[in-house]
Amino acid sequence: MIPGESIARIVPMPGVPDGVELVEVRSKHGGNSRLSFKSFDQGRLSFQGTEQDFVWLDEEPPADIYEECLTRTATTRGLILLTFTPLSGLSDVVLMFLPGGDIHEQQDEKSSRSVILATWDDVPHLDERAKEMLFASYMPFQRDARTKGIPALGSGAIYPVPESDIVIPDFALPPHWPRAYGMDVGWNRTAAIWGAFDRETSTSYLYSQHYRGEAEPVVHAEAVKSRGKWIPGAIDPASRGRSQSDGHQLLEMYQSMGLDLTPANNAVEAGIYDIWTLLSAGKLKVFASCADWISEYRMYRRDDKGRVVKKNDHLMDASRYLIGTGRDIAKCKPKPADEEESFASGGWMC
């Protein structure tokens, strides 16, 4: 891309056949511009001690090298470009660009980082036949990373089922499907996920979500009732032992506000196994509109000691309550007549 006559000097890389360490290019502004080439295996120290106007890191760098390159641009107000497929999952470098691991999360206005997501549909030289062959050859947990640029969690993922296998377009739910919701409570974040259950196919559909922090219980209660106050819920059993305001127990507080709530079974590993079984069998689907649920699903993982990472998992916990307890208490939608009358008479559309 650089005209040959503009290249003033090429410095070979010692010990690397045909390798290049430095290129000097004549600048139209006078003098020469310098292009330096390095590889990650040279280590962080080799990146020290210079000022750079622009750094391009091709493939994901180690975190220490990225930070060193960032420092090289401090005095020049330079730019850094990273181009890579996130096959290492939610690494330190990925999390610098994706707060919370969310590929769709908007960067803060003051942030100096931004993300451009490229899928293989943006690659003009791949035809549909080539995509089909490649997709079939990829390991299942790498498919979303390879095709959509979504970070792959690999063996660390709690639910290593491709997002593309479980996310479906929203559709109108049949009124005879029983419904319930799972609810995880707290001041920093209160989350709820609604499910509808097709008894004929034994398939569960997650179709709506509530996801809000730093709000009073009455705000959450109204949001829950707006989905249908007849729908029963399974709530985090720890709500019986913590308070959000004035020392009141949350379970009793929400019940007093008209929510039909049952303490959920909170056996973590058993609940994870139940959801994993449904996902593996294609018996758990989620509506595409549940964006926060999908974001949490992408980063729900174990650490290197096998423990569940307890961060940004409110909807994942709510899903365990829904599947573990909500399915047993689910109710069908009341008949079109007055809902209050239906409650009294037991008239349900089942």
Active-site residues, by number, are 59
**Does residue 52 contact residue 73 with C-beta atoms inside 8 Å?**
yes
Residue from 289, 303, 297 nearest 319 by CA: 297
Structure tokens at 144: 């979303």
State how beta strands 261-263 and 190-198 pair.
unpaired
CA angle 110, 112, 116 (to 5 degrees): 115
**Does residue 187 contact residue 214 with C-beta atoms inside 8 Å?**
yes
- The three-state DSSP-derived secondary structure of the chain is CCCHHHEEEEEECCCCCCCEEEEEEECCCCCEEEEECCCHHHCHHHHCCCCCCEEEEECCCCHHHHHHHHHHCCCCCCEEEEECCCCCCCCHHHHHHCHHHCCCCCCCCCCCCCCCCCCHHHCCCCCHHHHHHHHHHCCHHHHHHHHHCCCCCHHHECCCCCHHHHEECCCCCCCCCCEEEEEECCCCCEEEEEEEEECCCCEEEEEEEEEECCCCHHHHHHHHHCCCCCCCEEECHHHHHCECCCCCEHHHHHHHCCCCEEECCCCHHHHHHHHHHHHHCCCEEEECCCHHHHHHHHHCEECCCCCECCCCCHHHHHHHHHHHHHHHHCECCECCCCHHHHHHHCCECC
